[in-house]
């Protein structure tokens, strides 16, 4: 018994792009029913992708992604057939050549599939604090700032119903106000630090970034982007600090 999926050149390219988003952040990928939902290695982010527009409802676990991805990239610019055998648990990626590997035992994957219940939080529109579209020109500045300042987080400052995204170098010698005048859904005074990864990923178009309150001083950041037809959500936990801006990155 087997399952076969035919991907066009463009669809296979976008499938590889989606996997590439995880290559430096996750050891393995665990796609179930055409969906990916898993934590990064450092537990700072949760990635969620709806890959059904590309691979339908297939299960595709890949162990040691960093080792497997370069081989799969050898099939780029080709129509690719993915064949999944049920009886002996093998997967075949076939273009002009064929790459095959045995599906790994799911219990040994470092980055396991999470159910929506396992996310551990429920995002409600009533708790929405910020809803903002980050344009590509701004995200390019964010990427440049990360590279030049050598930082791991951006600071979002809240004051008088307005938010601004800032960055300070680790030695505090340089400061950049990346974007200001962002309207808040609720008045707030304070700040939160958000990890940089959600703003740096390869994508098509802009980033939709939202912040939700899930407790007295706890926030969830959600960045939504598209890679072709695939919706990619990146979640990260943040702490809300009430009052004047202070502290270090």
Helix axes 65-73, 9-20, angle to 10 degrees: 160
233 in the same domain as 149:
yes
Per-residue confidence (pLDDT) for residue 246, from 0 to 100 = 54
> What tokens appear for 21 in the block?
């988003």
Q: Which residues pair with 180 in a beta bridge?
A: none
Write the CB contacts of 229 (distance below 8 Å, at least 6 apart in sequence): 11, 14, 53, 54
CATH number of the domain residue 106 falls in: 3.10.150.10
8-state DSSP, 123: -
61 in the same domain as 11:
yes
User: What is the band of 245 on the pLDDT scale with cuts at 50, 70, 90?
Assistant: low
Per-residue confidence (pLDDT) for residue 162, from 0 to 100 = 96
In a domain, 166, yes or no: yes
Alpha-carbon distance 133 to 224, whole Å?
10
Whether this model's pTM surpasses 0.85: yes
Does 85 have pLDDT greater than 90?
no
29 in the same domain as 110:
yes
Distances (CA, A) of 63 to 102, 133, 199: 10, 34, 26
In a domain, 61, yes or no: yes
In a domain, 38, yes or no: yes
In a domain, 235, yes or no: yes
Per-residue confidence (pLDDT) for residue 172, from 0 to 100 = 82
135 in the same domain as 51:
no
Segment 111-150, tens digit of pLDDT: 999 998 888 777 888 999 999 999 999 999 999 999 999 9
157 in the same domain as 105:
no
Does 249 have pLDDT greater than 80?
no
168 in the same domain as 67:
no
Q: Do 176 and 143 meet the contact criterion of CB atoms below 8 Å apart?
A: no
In a domain, 151, yes or no: yes
CATH number of the domain residue 129 falls in: 3.10.150
98 in the same domain as 177:
no
Write the CB contacts of 86 (distance below 8 Å, at least 6 apart in sequence): 1, 2, 3
Picking from 119, 144, 160, the residue at the C-terminal end of a domain is: 119
CA atoms within 13 A of residue 20's CA, in its CB half-sphere? 15
* Phi, psi for 80 (deg, rounded to 5): -125, 135
130 in the same domain as 115:
no
> How many CB atoms are located within 10 Å of the residue 9 CB?
14
130 in the same domain as 67:
no
Picking from 91, 119, 147, the residue at the C-terminal end of a domain is: 119
Picking from 58, 90, 119, the residue at the C-terminal end of a domain is: 119
Segment 35-77, tens digit of pLDDT: 999 999 999 999 999 999 999 999 999 999 999 999 999 999 9
User: What is the band of 16 on the pLDDT scale with cuts at 50, 70, 90?
Assistant: very high
> What tokens appear for 32 in the block?
């179930």
Give the H or E element holding residue 68.
Answer: helix 65-73
Tell how far CA 160 is from the center of its chain: 30
60 in the same domain as 147:
no
In a domain, 41, yes or no: yes
> What tokens appear for 150 in the block?
């050598």
Report the domain count for the chain. Answer: 2
19 in the same domain as 105:
yes
Query: Residue 143 burial by CB count (10 A; 0-12/13-18/19+): exposed, middle or buried?
Result: middle
In a domain, 249, yes or no: no
8-state DSSP, 103: P
Segment 182-217, tens digit of pLDDT: 999 988 899 999 999 999 999 999 999 999 999 889
Q: Considering the chain, what is the average pLDDT of its residues?
A: 92
Per-residue confidence (pLDDT) for residue 248, from 0 to 100 = 45
In a domain, 225, yes or no: yes
Is residue 131 helix, strand or coil?
strand
Write the CB contacts of 215 (distance below 8 Å, at least 6 apart in sequence): none
Structural domain that includes position 133: 125-242
Segment 142-184, tens digit of pLDDT: 999 999 999 999 999 999 899 999 999 877 888 999 999 999 9
156 in the same domain as 103:
no
């Amino acid at each position: 018994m087997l399952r076969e999926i035919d991907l066009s050149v463009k669809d296979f390219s976008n499938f590889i792009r989606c996997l590439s988003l995880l290559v430096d952040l996750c050891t393995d990928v665990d796609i179930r029913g055409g969906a990916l939902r898993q934590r990064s290695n450092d537990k700072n982010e949760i990635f969620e992708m709806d890959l059904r527009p590309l691979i339908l409802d297939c299960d595709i676990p890949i162990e040691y992604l960093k080792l497997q991805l370069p081989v799969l990239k050898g099939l780029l610019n080709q129509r690719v057939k993915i064949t999944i055998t049920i009886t002996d648990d093998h997967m075949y990626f076939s273009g002009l050549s064929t790459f095959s590997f045995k599906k790994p035992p799911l219990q040994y994957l470092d980055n396991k599939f999470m159910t929506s219940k396992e996310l551990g939080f429920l995002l409600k529109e009533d708790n929405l604090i910020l809803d903002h579209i980050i344009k590509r020109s701004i995200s390019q500045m964010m990427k440049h700032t990360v590279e030049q300042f050598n930082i791991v987080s951006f600071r979002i400052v809240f004051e008088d119903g307005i938010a601004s995204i800032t960055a300070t170098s680790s030695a505090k010698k340089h400061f950049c106000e990346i974007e200001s005048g962002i309207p808040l859904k609720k008045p707030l005074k304070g700040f939160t630090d958000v990890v940089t990864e959600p703003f740096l990923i390869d994508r098509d178009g802009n980033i939709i970034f939202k912040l939700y309150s899930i407790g007295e001083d706890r926030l969830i950041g959600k960045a939504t982007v598209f890679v072709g037809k695939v919706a990619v959500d990146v979640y990260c936990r943040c702490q809300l600090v009430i009052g004047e801006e202070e502290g270090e990155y």
